[in-house]
Amino acid sequence: MQQHTFKQHPRLGTEVLQGGNLRELTNQQRQEFKQSLWENGVIVVRNQNMTASQLQEFTNHTFGESGFKYLPKSLDPDIHPDLQSPGVSILGNPKESSPEIIGQFAWQWHHDKDHLPRTDGLDMNSLYVVMLYGMEIPVQGLDGKPHTTEFIDMVEAYQNLEPGYRRQLEQMSMYHLPPRTYKLGSDVPMKKHPIVSTHKVTGHKGLYLGSDTSIAVGMEDDLSLAKQFWQELFQRILECTPVYAHVWQPGDLVVWDNSQVMHAGIPYDGSKYKRVALRVAAVDKTQIV
């Protein structure tokens, strides 16, 4: 897919709380932090030093306890205990004994949706916040450039499409499945959601596409056609909407409002470089809308 990538964006990737410590925020600072997130879609806090449990504690205090827990049976002896906590997942290749990379499925464009399709009462464009804390960063990706995660502004993407095409999409919805690979059937949770969604805080319209497993309503009996439709739509978006690339530094916490942006991880060579990133997600339960 063609795309134009750049490292500056008028709103995505705004740096906040310069010199601040996320473990010591006041309630007012937490509210300002969230307001910056709704306004900018992706925000960055640099030079943090947290364990997995401290990251989860910050999430709970800021957005409320989500109840979304990844519960390991026991601590992994090959991974430092500070990297392990219920509710926090580890991405990258944290084990010294193995170059296996955890999270390669995220190396494609998608909205994070984890629990949304299978949780009653949550729209697909709920205020679903995802945080990624980079502890160890590869020197470069497979493309030889600095290690990045790429984001695209789906509010901007909607505005950049031709008016006639926007009106067409406003009449359409998609079925969304849980992430990764699921075979369709009566036991697979799916939710129908409009392609054009209205943000619950800002009121701005944007596109919500999920991933290339999403199925446009009316194409349920032809999954190859549904995937082709999704890919052609996303290619059209890439051709008219620049991509923001966050260049990682150790200690970065990158936070994104999943209802406003899509993102993609960039591959790297796990046999040469180590990457350790902690990921936590929550639906904001403190926002009055």
With 60 as the cut, is the pLDDT of residue 245 above it? Answer: yes
Q: What is the CA radius of gyration of the chain?
A: 19
The percent of residues in the chain predicted with pLDDT above 70, rounded, is: 93
Q: What average pLDDT does the structure give for the chain?
A: 91
SS3 assignment, position 163: helix
Q: Are 38 and 7 in contact (CB under 8 A)?
A: no
pLDDT of residue 44: 97
pLDDT of residue 72: 58
Neighbours of 27 (CB within 10 A): 9
pLDDT of residue 60: 93
CA neighbor of 129 nearest in space, from 285, 8, 288, 9: 285
- The single-letter code of the amino acid at 264 is A
For the question of whether the overall pTM of this predicted structure is more than 0.85, the answer is yes
Domains in the chain (CATH in brackets) are: 12-283 (3.60.130.10)
CA neighbor of 15 nearest in space, from 24, 31, 2, 37: 37
CA distances from 254 to 16, 26, 88, 131, 246 (A): 10, 20, 15, 6, 9
pLDDT of residue 67: 62
pLDDT tens-place string over residues 14-51: 999 999 999 999 999 999 999 999 999 999 999 999 99
The percent of residues in the chain predicted with pLDDT above 90, rounded, is: 74
CA dihedral 158, 162, 163, 164 (to 10 degrees): -120
SS3 assignment, position 56: helix
Q: Average the pLDDT over 59-69 and give the result.
A: 82
With 80 as the cut, is the pLDDT of residue 79 above it? Answer: yes
Q: How confident is the model at residue 255 (pLDDT cuts 50, 70, 90)?
A: very high
Cross-strand bridge partners of residue 198: 205
Task: Out of 5-14, 100-109, 232-241, give the one with best mean pLDDT.
Answer: 232-241
